[in-house]
Amino acid sequence: MEQVAVVTGSAKGLGRAIALALADEGFTVVVHYLSSKQEAEKVLVEVQRKSPNSILVRADLKIEEDVKKMFAEVIKKLGRVDLLVNNVGNFLYKKFAETTSDEFKDLVESNLYATFFASRQALVTMRKQRSGNIINIGTVGAGRITITERSTPYFLAKTGVYTITKIMAWEEAKAGIRVNMISPASLETDIFKATDFPMGRSAKYEDVISALKFLVSAEAQYVNGANIEVAGAFIPGMS
């Protein structure tokens, strides 16, 4: 039986890289997008070369009803969900005093609400299957209180994701469901320079994918509720 992986925000960037990697691993992939339709369609074409039953879905993950409809479509077409990768989450590098209310709301909703709503829907199916795997994409420093001058709302939301990762792992373990988190250092090249990182570079998509492949492998069957920092010893706020 083919395993089905839902990758949120998989039209571009890290989400795209994860979708392609999972297709290579034999998953049927659900490519999700909100507004980047053309990019998502191109990703689907690439994914279907390895995984022909893969599909494309659109939803605003900040809206619970949209999320419910999306997962209903996935179940109707593919019948199951084995893996959910919660990749959606906007980032803003801006002083807190200059952050608008709308920007603050978007950061919390796109990171925390989207993860919460998508996980809730995936868990409905996973509980019935008595199996499943949820991997949340966090950020380095999310597992502790982190206050930074220019990204406080983002860290606030990602720490929330860390917290719900822990509680979902604890609650769902008896149903054969694992919930973990991968927290990379910055994947942005326009914010930091190579010398800002202890190992001389920022995180790459391949670094995150290596951790993800481990978490979905048989070797990680007892890894549950973990937060893997893929950060090369980088600590936010230290120089």
According to the model, what pLDDT value does residue 189 have?
A: 55
Residue 50 lies in a domain: yes
Instruction: State the pLDDT confidence band at 177, using cuts at 50, 70 and 90.
Output: very high
Mean pLDDT (whole number) for 53-72 = 98
Residue 236 lies in a domain: no
What global pTM score does this model have?
A: 0.95
Instruction: State the pLDDT confidence band at 150, using cuts at 50, 70 and 90.
Output: confident
pLDDT in tens, 14-39: 999 999 999 999 999 999 999 999 99
The number of distinct structural domains making up the chain is 1
CATH code (residue 128) = 3.40.50.720
Is it the case that residue 196 has pLDDT exceeding 90?
Answer: no
Residue 222 lies in a domain: yes
Amino acid at the residue 95:
K
> Alpha carbon of 175 to those of 1, 26, 129, 179: distances in Å?
20, 24, 9, 12
Range of the domain at 24: 4-230
> Alpha carbon of 193 to those of 186, 189, 224, 233, 236: distances in Å?
10, 7, 34, 15, 14
Residue 217 lies in a domain: yes
